[in-house]
Amino acid sequence: MSVLEQIIAGVREDLEMRRIPKGKLLEQVAQAAPPLSASEYLRGAEISVIAEVKRSSPSKGALAQISDPAALAKMYEDNGASVVSVLTEARRFGGSLEDLDAVRKSVSIPVLRKDFMVDEYQFFEARAHGADLVLLIVAALSQIQLGEFLALTHELGMQALVEVHTESELEQALEVSAQIVGVNSRNLKTLDVDRNVFAQLLPKIPAHSVKVAESGISSRADVEYARSYGADAVLVGEALVRGSDPGATLRALIGRE
């Protein structure tokens, strides 16, 4: 199996371990605060940042301990992040729904539940835990699933960051009228980063969609490169959590230092 297929297999196994009755989950959804519009926040600056709470990754291994995800998320908000992304996949990224709960309570900006969404249960779960935004990876879904999951996301009041890696995946995203499109420069098969993917795909996304550059963003120059091809926002994790001062790193990326 590819790395993506291995991760998804683990996600499905873990989901079955924590699944609760649908009625109880719907009660939790009803009690959650109304979702925020991530697209509005991502268009609110010259270049916006989705700052990530990320402990590890398949490509780099352990990145940071992050004993207090709520404090880190609040630091992100205080230093200019427009959205906070929270990894909730446990096996490869060291995340959890508890991290999502903690972050949601600590910030007033939109929160992205970043996970591998492959079952409709996860969307109700995301909303129940306060997510405003979820990740849909085109490479992990059939076109029918992509359309159905995006519709479910909207029914629950959330938005989706629809992630693409190739021109054909971008066509699939545009076919379902994705409002927020993420171009990931990391090849999911090799895990290598090629930022030329930004140059190839970002200009092909319509202006009415929010354009997000993902992976390989570690400096202000990287941000400016992505912006030069039309990015409205960048998603940054590793560069923030590995540094000694995430707040200063974030300000530098935005151009405030």
Domain ranges of the chain: 3-254
Rounded to an integer, the average pLDDT of 53-68 is 88
- Annotated catalytic residue 215: yes
Pick from 117, 12, 104, 14: nearest CA to 53: 104
Rounded to an integer, the average pLDDT of 186-205 is 90
Q: 3-254, which class in CATH?
A: alpha beta
Helix, strand, coil percent values for the chain (each to nearest 5): 45, 20, 35
pLDDT at 188 over 80: no
Side-chain-facing half-sphere of 175: CA atoms under 13 Å: 15
48, 85, 106, 114: which one is catalytic?
114
Pick from 18, 15, 14, 12: nearest CA to 140: 12
Identify the residue whose tokens are 């629809």. 162
- Annotated catalytic residue 2: no
Rounded to whole angstroms, what are the CA distances from 253 to 66, 236, 245, 248?
21, 9, 13, 9
Rounded to an integer, the average pLDDT of 73-102 is 96
> Rounded CA gap, 111 and 134, in Å?
9
pLDDT tens by residue, 136-158: 999 999 999 999 999 999 999 99
| Bridge pairing between strands 56-57 and 61-62 | antiparallel
48, 57, 82, 215: which one is catalytic?
215
- Predicted TM-score (pTM) of the model is 0.96
- Annotated catalytic residue 163: yes
77, 89, 169, 214: which one is catalytic?
214
54, 96, 185, 211: which one is catalytic?
54
- Annotated catalytic residue 184: yes
Are 228 and 43 contacting, i.e. CB atoms less than 8 angstroms apart? no
52, 77, 89, 125: which one is catalytic?
52
